[in-house]
Amino acid sequence: MATDILHPSIQPRTPSGMFANEPFTDFSRPENKRAMENALDAIAPQLGREYDLVIGGERLKTAEKIISINPARPEQVVGVHQKAGAEHAASAMSAAQEAFTSWSRTSSDVRVSLLLNAADIIRKRKFELMAWLTYEVGKNWAEADADVGETIDFLEFYAREALRLAAATTPIQYPGERNELHYIPLGVGAVISPWNFPFAIMAGMTAASIVTGNTVILKPSSDAPTIAAKFIEVLEEAGMPAGVVNFCPGSGATFGNAIVEDPRTRFIAFTGSKSVGTEIHERAAKTRNGQIWIKRTILEMGGKDSILVCADADLNAAIEGVAASAFGFSGQKCSACSRAIVEAPIYDDFVEKLRQRVAKLTLGDPAKNHNLGPVINKSALASMLAYVEMGKKEGRLICGGNAPAADEGGFFLEPTVFADVAPNAVLAQEEIFGPVLAIIKVDSFDEGLKVANNTEYGLTGAIYSSDSNKLDRARHEFHVGNLYFNRKCTGAMVGAHPFGGFNMSGTDSKAGGPDYLYLFTQAKSVAEKL
């Protein structure tokens, strides 16, 4: 069937030039500061709007609702969303299956054009989308800008990667044959996205799925469904056919489990906690009646990430890197530094300098662009405060530890640092996912490497050292998926730092890298005798 009949609103395009990361916004420039303030003001009257499920292009309402709130001002409703239940899983699956019949046969050029169109729309609406992130998940301006920029990067990068896959050939042509290699889509996939990068990760997993010809049932986090609804609006404006992405906020225990277990689901792309990720993996591994394939799981889970600071390091640079990695977005990143491992000769100096640096951080409403905003919800704050109490028994509180009562009742926690924490302490082993840092003293580089590798995770890590031999050893012995030298351990850039971790950090999916789209395809070899 001709693609111009299937998708008249999409004109085939090719990416312009080589891939380059979207530039960051310089908020020290008055025009950018004004643009962000204006966007926040413009969005404010839209807060509290109701959004529908979107299944097969149809808008649906449900009796139960998901209420998305501003974590800095919990009384402020950001969006009211329909709550998909298990009863909606079958209709979402049917819509995605029907769309797959045509979308899977649509040319790569058309699918690529959808992503490029979406990237153009997001660029034009950049400040508006940043404002939604500030209201819905409490990102300050720089963090919101990075999230939107990474979304654009994923769309642009995966568009180029899809064209590369479409042009794949076999390594050799066997004499007397015509040999072909095609990367074909898997089928209907479930995309289950997180709240901490609710635009970039959600859009990245979705874009990778659809640009390779799959169709999607999208279940965003219940803490961040509004920005996902905005992405659906972008895709529809960009020319997405009905049923290619079906928007279904809902409970993980009901709707989420139903789509994971459905025998027609071909793959599950998930980013979130270790506990949920391993449960998804277990549910997906069980073969159901009528299932004719092994489901593929693409899992990005937790981290307990370390920065190792050697005695020969540039101490001031290390202080800045640890502070940025530990407290950016209030430590709510799977890549965040939650352990600083410091060699004994500089330990006391490091602790004092870090205390002074953290004291300069401001805490407050992210709409006012403070360094730290709120944590995501009340239960998360309660969990973090329990870890703070544990830390008081396991280490020495250097700063923070309090949950100041904001005028609007927001979920705030001061940046908190504990020193003298043992490598096997609870504070040094369990993922806290908040602004809580443990400092661990070691006597040598060898001991530091051993401690860096002593958790069940293996996502990110960094080392500060001026010794090239130590850096070379770390290349081989520091067991994480993303390792950084003399810089922070957060801020992976699409294309430059393919992202994904080892062990209980997930399946090492390497989002934003040259291998990622393979996870959403299967290779078909065709040989024709001449």
Catalytic sites, residue numbers: 300, 334
> What's the token pair of residue 395?
């280490």
3-state secondary structure of 240: coil
Among 385, 367, 378, 372, which Cα is nearest to 332's? 372
> How far, in Å, are 3, 88, 521 from residue 93 at the CA level?
23, 9, 19
Instruction: Please count the CA atoms within 13 angstroms of the CA of 385 that sit on its side-chain side.
Output: 13
Burial class (CB in 10 A: 0-12, 13-18, 19+), 312: middle
User: How far apart are alpha carbons 232 and 56 in whole angstroms?
Assistant: 12
User: How far apart are alpha carbons 334 and 330 in whole angstroms?
Assistant: 12
Percentage helix, strand, coil for the chain under 3-state DSSP, each rounded to 5? 40, 20, 35
Pairing relation of β-strands 521-529 and 177-185?
Answer: antiparallel
Burial class (CB in 10 A: 0-12, 13-18, 19+), 80: middle
The neighbouring-strand residues paired with 337 are 305
The CA radius of gyration of the chain, in Å to the nearest whole number, is 23
User: How far apart are alpha carbons 339 and 391 in whole angstroms?
Assistant: 13
Q: Are 203 and 227 in contact (CB under 8 A)?
A: no
409: left (phi over 0), alpha (psi -120 to 50) or beta: left
User: How far apart are alpha carbons 37 and 122 in whole angstroms?
Assistant: 18
H or E segment to which residue 431 belongs:
none
Q: Give all strands (DSSP E) within 449-510, no chain letters.
A: 457-458, 460-464, 482-485, 502-503
